Amino acid sequence: MDSLGLRFTQAGSSLAPPDVAAFAAVDSVLLHEQEADHDDRSPLADLVAAGIVATRIRMIVDDEPAALRGPVFVTLRSTPIPTVRLTESGAPEVAAFVLADRVHGHFAWPRSRRGSALVLAACLPLALPDVAQAQVAGSAKGRSVAVEPASVVPPAPAGSAKGRSVAVEPASVVPPAPAPAPQPVVASEAPVVSPPVVGPPPPPRIASPAAQLETILQGMKGREAVVYAAGAKVTGLIIGVDGDFVTIIDVERDGKIALIPKLQIVEVRGRMSAQETDLPTGTGNLVAGGILVGVGGPLMLSGLVFLGISPSYLFLYLPQIVPAGVMLGVGIPNLVTGMRKRRAYQAASRGSRLSERLTPAVNRTPHGSWTGGLRLQF
């Protein structure tokens, strides 16, 4: 009897010819369901999936939520023909797909922007706690205060398919003049798309408190902040400010993703960490000491053992024992110094007292009840 192995060392496909007859158009209902493809955000999605709507209309397309303007139906996406560059780094622009950057995206959907709840926490961090923590940790090193310009990330080209690519016309910058006549170009096998003109962004004009808040939030994107809104406070890394919400990793709630309506925000403060970068970390001492002790220790030990076995060969073993002693003599003090510096660095960055590292933690269980306890930060 055949069994199914669950470890594949490489990709494999069936050796049999493809069963293309299975895809012949015999089921018109299936065809209509596919034709009526939809976005998950469509209020008709459930009905289409249930086959209710699809049997009654030939095409269903969804309108775009006014506040979000996200892509819905594939032929009605609002993105323009993208710029095609000749020199691309080849590195995928994965940053455009950061999940938390999409307020309207896949992990949380706000029920009402006027709802009493301040924070709409999603369950994503429960499934990916490491990601959330890594972002928090990574952000602590970035200290510059430069404000990132608000920009819309264009769709990231994924490179040529299977090593083949379409011919690309040299990218040229064209001034945004009204409708220049198309230039005839030598015919190629495929229509070539040239980059659309994107003018420089206009200088920011702060005209209202809302605009000021937007400017601040754009500047704080990717940095740690304390956000005050409707009597509550959320502390953490701001990862998205698009649309009507601010997306933040709440460090006080185990990295849950919080959505805060911008309308309810009353204050945003930058979160200042300790001056740990002013202190030496001790890494150099620890590494140097570790290497010297790691090499000198075995040398010294083996030299002493051989000397004990045959004491008459003292001068034979001295060239081994003496350098080993020097290594240990230098390495051990380096280790001690390095550990002392590291402790000081850690104390400055997190607080050395137990009371500062021990914080109360209250969490809601999946069953709806609450749990309480203390959390020790190392």
Partner 1 sequence: MIIVTGTKRSGTSMWMQILAAAGLPVIGERVPKHWSEPLNAANPDGFYESELVAGIYFRTNPHPVSGVFLFPDQTEQHAVKVFIPGLIRTDLAYIDRVIATVRGWRDFARSRERLRGLGRAGEAAEAAKVTPVLPPGLEWWAENFALIRDVATRRYPVHMLSYESLLADPERIIREVLAWLGVGDAVKASAVVHREGSAATRDGAVAEVDETGLEPAQLLVLDELHDHIHRGLALSSGFVERLNQVDRELRPRLLEHNAAVKAAALLELARAPHGG
Residues listed for the chain: 378
Does the protein bind partner 1 through residue 17 (CB under 8 A)? yes
Q: Any contact of residue 23 with partner 1 (CB under 8 A)?
A: yes
CA–CA gap between residue 109 and residue 208 (Å, rounded): 28
Q: How many residues sit close enough to partner 1 to count as binding (CB under 8 A)?
A: 83
Site for partner 1 in 78-107 (CB under 8 A): 78-82, 84
Report 183-202 residues binding partner 1 (CB under 8 A).
183-197
Applying CB under 8 A, among 70, 73, 150, 235 the residue interacting with partner 1 is 73
Residue (22 or 376) nearer to partner 1, CB: 22
Burial of 99 (0-12, 13-18, 19+ CB in 10 A): middle
Within positions 145 to 184, which residues make up the interface with partner 1, using CB under 8 A? 155, 157-162, 164-166, 169, 171-174, 176-177, 179-184
Q: Which of 113, 123, 114, 116 is nearest to 65 (CA)?
A: 113
Which amino acid would we find at residue 304?
Answer: L
Residue 47, interface with partner 1 (CB under 8 A)? yes
Beta bridge partners of 250: 236, 256
How, if at all, do strands 256-261 and 245-250 pair?
antiparallel
Q: Give Cβ neighbours of residue 101 (< 8 Å, ≥ 6 apart).
A: 239, 240, 242, 247
Q: Residues 171, 88: contact at Cβ < 8 Å?
A: no
Query: Binding segment for partner 1 among 69-77, 121-129, 202-210, 296-304 (CB under 8 A)?
Result: 69-77
- Decide: is 330 part of the binding site for partner 1 (CB under 8 A): no
- The SS3 call for residue 215 is helix
- Site membership for partner 1, residue 7 (CB under 8 A): no
CB of 106 to partner 1, least distance (A): 15
Distance CA 273, CA 271 (A): 6
- Please, what is the minimum distance in Å from the beta carbon of residue 103 to partner 1? 20
Residue 43 or 231 with smaller CB distance to partner 1: 43
| Out of 3, 5, 19, 311, the residue judged to bind partner 1 by CB under 8 A | 19
